[in-house]
Structure 1
Amino acid sequence: MTFTFTALLCLGLTLGLGTPVLAGALPKPILRAQPDSVVSQQTTVIFLCEGTTRAKEYYLYKDGHQYLRCTETPQSCKDKAEFSISKIDHYHARQYRCRYQTDDGWSEYSDSLDLVVTGLYSKPSLSAQPSPVVTEGGTVTLQCVSWQSYHSFILIKEGPQKRSWMLNSQYNSYTGQFQALFYVGPVTSRKRWTFRCYSFNRNRPQEWSEPSDPLELLVSGTLHKPTIKAEPGSVVSLRSVVTIWCQGTLDAEICVLHKEGSQNPLDTQTPEKPENKAKFSIPSVTQQHGGQYCCYCYSSAGWSEPSDTLEIVVIGIYYHNKPSLSVLSSPVVTLGRNMTLQCVSWEGYEKFILTKDDQKFLSSLNSQFIHSIRQWQALFSTDHVTQDHSGTFRCYGYYKHAPHWWSVPSEPLEIHVSGLSKKPSLLTHQGQILDPGKSLTLQCCSDINYDRFALYKLGEADVTQNGGQWTQSGLSLANFTLGPVSRTTGGQYRCYGAHNLSSEWSASSDPLNILITGQRSFSPSLSVKPNSTVHPGDNVTLLCQSTYKVDTFILSKEGAAHQPQRLKSKSEASDFQAEFSMSAVTSDHSGTYRCYGSQDSSPYLLTQASEPVELTVSGSIGTSTTPPSKFMPTAGLEGYLKALVGVSVAFLLFLFILIFLLLRRRHQGKFRKDAQKDTELQLPRGAVEPVFRDRGSQKRSNPAAATQEESLYASVKDTQPENGAKVDSWRSAEEDPQGETYAQVKGSRLRRAGAVLPSVMSGEVLDTKDGQAENDREMDSQAAESEEPQDVTYAQLCTRSLRQGTAAPPPSQAEEAPEESTVYAALAVTQQGSVPSNKEQ
């Protein structure tokens, strides 16, 4: 122990208060302790005993016994004495008094001063009930509790106006602690209210425990409220670092951070210059840091209003079951339309909350259990979408008893807002129905110079973006290569266009369905009614059937640019079927058709293809009713090329047939002329040239002569002439073995010497009916010279088989059967035996 002598020589004495002294009427001294009468262990304490300038000696007494003496020194004469004790310990915790002595005697004793030494026991805790936030003029209950059994608790108000309260402890059977409740008030906002509490035992009242943490009452004043914010954000992950800033007025001396529900302020900091912001750091966030925060600032004028509330949410508390977030329609939403976001989870969270990257549109909903999917969900709907809805959304799940403890976040969902600018076109170069393994490229193009394009597949959470390219024709486009297709490629696609300087997307393109075949092991059958070859204007029905369950049938035409037709199936007996009707078909309906089946659970996954059916619409080729399209897909171009090749082949075939017919006709004409020249009958010598006459067109100038004619018919077969008779014909019997020639012989009288002989035959071989040929008769030279009248017989030869080139019947007989050609031969009628014996060969 060391004693310091400031102005007087102090000696340690062992005299008690019972030492005989002369009690005079000198004023009582004042005893004080510096820095305080309540000090912690190992602290240096200075006792000041203030008397008069006439004092010769000062004495300090501990528990009634003289403890220290200070003797006056000639060099410094003062009215007080200092007693210094360093390294205070528990045995210094006692009650002290002092007095002084002058030439006139002893003064009275000073009032007693208890020197309290703290830190001898574990500290209690001090809290405000229900909150350290108090209104102006209000009261508050401060609770001092400890797990150790103490007899008493003492509450001390720190600061210039120091006060203390002492209460006996009480045991709380509910908490198992010892406590004391101190009622403080009324409080004002013009000063600080900082408290600590201690605990001690009754037998040693100067030996206290460690002090509790200070408790600052936050009195809501009228001064300007500070601002509060968190960095990097108010939604923080476990074990991350968070800094909370509280900025008050320039004259703010301290700023206090308070968490709602806490019975103590979280921290107190002095603002940093020049912004006058107080920094509250949380080096490692735990779930206990989740909650609502506000801050207060104090200046010489008093307390400020509380700041706005800052919510700190700790995410990742429930890290095993994160929810999933999706949009029910499309992540690209038209400006002004409705939008619904769906948050679902297998975990039975009581509430779901939706957040946006800039912390706008924070909203929470109670969860609902959906039996069909056996999950909990919440639907977040927006009636009128604006540009502010563009951004990244996430959702979380939590329980009502801990609203600031959230699950791990869902995967981010990017929402794009489309405007009213012109929609692009979405095309496929490989057709809409594809076999697995085929390559697929979708092209989004527009005559608007968009800088970028986005492709969206229905049911997916995000879009795929590609930069735009410009063609020489002024089009902007982007190609989206989907690679070898599989069952996951099937779906409905749309595309959008946008400019770089705007976050707004264009209107949506028309939907494009991509269907994947072979995803069911069976194939339907396809038939056509009434026939696969029909005439323009007929009605046609294509029937697609399956013995396996099919919800929808799809009919596709090979090379068609339009979407395949879809019809719901109907159950007929044990089959499923659909009828695709076509009314008043044209040549545009001609082509190869196939049908497929799908189920409602996976409408873009098809069965195997049916056997192809070829539909042919005969008749003139009509003009295609397909409207012109600025962008022709490859499938349509292939169909057009096939049609063009077919028309060209048909035209060449028709031209070849026409040329063949013309050459044949020309050849036949030439053959007819040659045949006529080669088959003329040879005339006998001296005979008059024969005359051709038609039976149907023959006319008589003399009716009387007509009545004298006698008709004679002879059926002559084409055999070898007898008796040297000779018949000339146009062709041999081999050419017409069945041909027959009928000869009609008419008798008449000729007054002329000349005989009329047969002329050229009608072109058929003369066949005799009875097997005997009439002998050609030569006119006797004598009979020819005679002027006697001679009988002349006309022989009419009728051929049944006529060669090409026979004269056509007259116009009057056009509707009747063509009459057989008739050849008249003039025969001289003589008496039997008058025929000369010499026959000409």
Structure 2
Amino acid sequence: MTFTFTALLCLGEMWTLHKPIIKAETGSVVTSGSPMTICCEGSLDAEIYVLHKEGSQKPWGTQTPEKPENKAKFSIPSVTKQHGGQYRCYCYSSAGWSERSDTLELVVTGIYHKKPRLTALPSPVVTLGENMTLQCVSQEGYDELVLTKEDQKFLSSLNSQFIYSIIQYQALFSIDHVTSDHGGTFRCYGYYNQTPHMWSVPSEPLEIHITGEQKPSLLTHQGQILDPGKSLTLQCCSDINYDRFALYKLGGADFTQNGGQWTQSGLSLANFTLGPVSSSTGGQYRCYGAHNLSSEWSASSDPLDILITGQRPFSPSLSVKPNSTVHSGDNVTLLCQSPYKVDTFILSKEGAAQQPQQLKSKSEAWDFQAEFSMSAVTSALSGTYRCYGSQDSSPYLLSYGSDPVELMVSGSIRASSPPPSRPMPTAASENQDHTVENLIRMGMAVMILIVIGILVFEGWGSQRQIHHAAEK
């Protein structure tokens, strides 16, 4: 017996069959222009399958399955934005109508051509159990930003927020206590609330690696604060015999990989040459190790900040309180100041292995300043210091350096006891004191006799002049 679709609708709502299963064979997120197939799977005795799109007055399509198939396939040769939306299917047999299937959300991507950018914070390599944030950023003011993983339905959708410091829109997707299931390829998209099934082109794919606990070390022999044009080599090393190493810059799209070398002391290492440096070199770096027979990377090294000077057109001033020459155990404050806007001051010691100190600036009158306090200093803190300023919008790009300040810390601790009392006089010292006193008295007597002689001689000379004048 053959039924038309109109006749079937007149049979009433006799929902006796189990609801069918609906799915998109290539995934529910489809690129505009590509083919796709929606599959509706029901019972073996189903005679007609109906596909319905939400908001449509008429069925999107009907199909009679070929026996003994228990499914129908609705093909779309080239997907357009009109195909985005919610779909359900149901079927009919001699026993009546089935329930409607669950909803299939079909999304069409590539409708908007401004693609977002997806990065992992702090890194795309995450240790098991740690937290991770995926940052989706867009210059276009999409209402929502969506995170997807491989061919799965979208994982999360968040309202975009405009961030003034970067002049872009962003959404932060936080993943706490990552597991091995969080590894894989992620993308993000943007869409507007009026058209939630029409998405932008995807971001570049971001590969997330989940690692174990062993981590290498990342070093630089040229220091972390560099002038433009200077050469820079970062060295990743480990006491684990890794065959290859990777260097990652925070916010970057990919790793830089190098083969490992082995030293006689049992270390494996790789050198990454980044010089001559420029403003684009500034940033935070991490490195990882891996074995050739494994696709898994090690845990991340500790982060290493590379800071580039001369990127802000001013130099702060640096002074020392109370003095640039102090004793061990004293307290010292290095004051960094600038009349220009500074968000963070950086204090660097020439030749120091440790990372430079950083302090948020405080506004005092017309100045921005920060006080780097050192308590109970030792001679190890002696050296040449400079300070720099940075702004939050580009924290790895610094001002010119201040004039150098030399801090001298003596090895001896300043005495805090009262001054020693005067020693008791001895017989020898008393005789010496009397001799000195007698010599002083004799000297004074001789001086008095000389003065009297001079006066007598001058008086005698005056008498002779008067006598000669009288004779004439």
Q: Is this a same-fold pair by TM over 0.5?
A: yes
Identity in percent: 73
The separation in 1 between residues aligned to 2:67 and 2:292, in whole angstroms, is: 42
Q: Deviations over 1:381-437 (max 9, x none)?
A: 334432222222222233445432222223333333344x13321111211110101
Is the 1:271–1:279 Cα contact (8 Å) retained in structure 2?
A: no
In structure 2, the partner of 1:416 is 209
Q: Is the 8 A contact 1:230 1:244 kept in 2?
A: yes
1:599 corresponds to: 391
**Are the structure 2 counterparts of residues 385 and 584 from structure 1 closer, same or farther at C-alpha, using a change threshold of 3 Å?**
closer
Q: 1:474 to 1:227 in 2, by over 3 A?
A: farther
Secondary structure at the counterpart of residue 348 of structure 2: strand
Q: Take 1:517 and 1:297, find their aligned partners in 2: how far apart are those partners?
A: 70
Cα displacement (A) at 1:586: 3.1
Aligned to 2:181: 388
Count of aligned positions: 421
What is the CA–CA distance in structure 2 between the aligned matches of 1:353 and 1:514, rounded to whole Å? 32
Provide the residue aligned with 1:318 in structure 2.
Answer: 112
Output the CA distance in 1 between the equivalents of 2:21 and 2:409.
Answer: 85
Cα pair 1:238 1:315 within 8 Å, conserved: yes
**Aligned equivalents of 1:550 and 1:816: distance in 2?**
71
Alignment partners' CA distance in 2, 1:364 and 1:525: 48
Equivalent in 168, 173, 196 of residue 403 of structure 1: 196
> For the structure 1 residues 425 and 307, does the alpha-carbon distance in structure 2 shift closer, same or farther, using more than 3 Å as the test?
same
Going from structure 1 to structure 2, the CA distance change for 1:186 and 1:554 (only over 3 Å counts) comes to closer
**Deviations 1:755-798, CA, capped at 9 Å, x for gaps:** xxxxxxxxxxxxxxxxxxxxxxxxxxxxxxxxxxxxxxxxxxxx
- 2:423 alignment counterpart: none
Q: Deviations 1:540-580 (Å, cap 9, x if unpaired)? A: 44343434343333222221111122334445554444443
Partner of 1:221: 17
Q: Per-residue CA shift, 1:170-199, capped at 9, x if unaligned?
A: xxxxxxxxxxx989533598xxxxxxxxxx
* Secondary structure of 2:134 counterpart: strand
Match of 2:355 in 1: 563
Distance 1:370 1:538 in 2: 45
Q: 1:608 aligns with which of 397, 400, 423?
A: 400
Is structure 2 residue 155 aligned with structure 1 residue 362? yes
Is 1:286 the equivalent of 2:80?
Answer: yes
Question: CA 1:284 to 1:226, structure 2 compared with 1: closer, same or farther past 3 Å?
Answer: same
CA RMSD of aligned residues (A): 4.2
Greater Cα offset, 301-310 or 567-576: 301-310
Match of 2:11 in 1: 186
Distance 1:560 1:348, change over 3 A: closer
Partner of 1:493: 285
Q: Aligned partners of 1:477 and 1:372: how far apart in 2?
A: 38
Alignment of 1:64-103 (within 5 A): none
How far, CA to CA, are the matches of 1:549 and 1:600 in structure 2? 11
Aligned equivalents of 2:230, 2:358: Cα separation in 1: 23
Q: Which residue of 2 aligns with 1:526?
A: 318
**CA spacing shift, 1:243–1:521, aligned 2, 3 Å:** same
- Pairing of 1:210-609 with structure 2 (within 5 A): 221-222=17-18, 225=20, 228-231=23-26, 233-245=27-39, 256=49, 258-261=51-54, 262=56, 263-268=58-63, 270-271=65-66, 279-293=73-87, 309-319=103-113, 321-327=114-120, 329-359=122-152, 362-367=155-160, 377-419=170-212, 421-460=213-252, 462-498=254-290, 505-571=297-363, 574-609=366-401
Give the partner amino acid of 1:548.
Y
- Displacement, 1:502? 6.2
Secondary structure in structure 1 of the residue aligned to 2:358: strand
Q: Given residue 284 of structure 1, which amino acid in structure 2 is its aligned partner?
A: S
Superposed displacement of residue 356, structure 1: 0.9
- Give the TM-score taking structure 2 as reference length: 0.72
What is the deviation of 1:282? 2.2
| Shift in alpha-carbon separation, 1:245–1:452, aligned structure 2, 3 A | farther
Measure the CA separation in 1 of the matches of 2:110 and 2:245.
36
Are the aligned partners of 2:125 and 2:208 in contact in 1 as well (CA < 8 Å)?
yes
Q: Hey, what's the Cα distance between the residues in 2 that align with 1:356 and 1:447?
A: 35
The DSSP-based 3-state class of the residue aligned with 2:310 is coil
Match for 1:586: what amino acid? T
Structure 1's 387 and 567: CA in aligned 2 closer, same or farther, altered over 3 A? same
**Alignment partners' CA distance in 2, 1:489 and 1:437:** 11
Q: Secondary structure at the match of 1:437?
A: coil
Paired residues of 1:287 and 1:317 also in contact (CA < 8 A): yes
Structure 1 residues 397 and 537, CA gap change in structure 2 (3 angstroms):
closer
Change (3 A) 1:255 1:479: farther
2:314 match: secondary structure: coil
Kindly provide the amino acid, as one letter, of the partner of residue 406 in structure 2: E
Deviation larger for 600-609 or 335-344: 335-344
Q: Given the two structures, how large is their TM-score scaled by the length of structure 1?
A: 0.43
Q: Which runs of 5+ in 1 are unaligned?
A: 1-158, 165-180, 190-218, 621-810, 820-841
The structure whose RCO (Cα within 8 Å, separation 6+) is larger is 2
- Please state which structure has a larger fraction of its residues in helix: 2
| 1:379/1:587 CA distance change after superposition, 3 Å | closer
Which amino acid is the alignment partner of residue 265 of structure 2? S
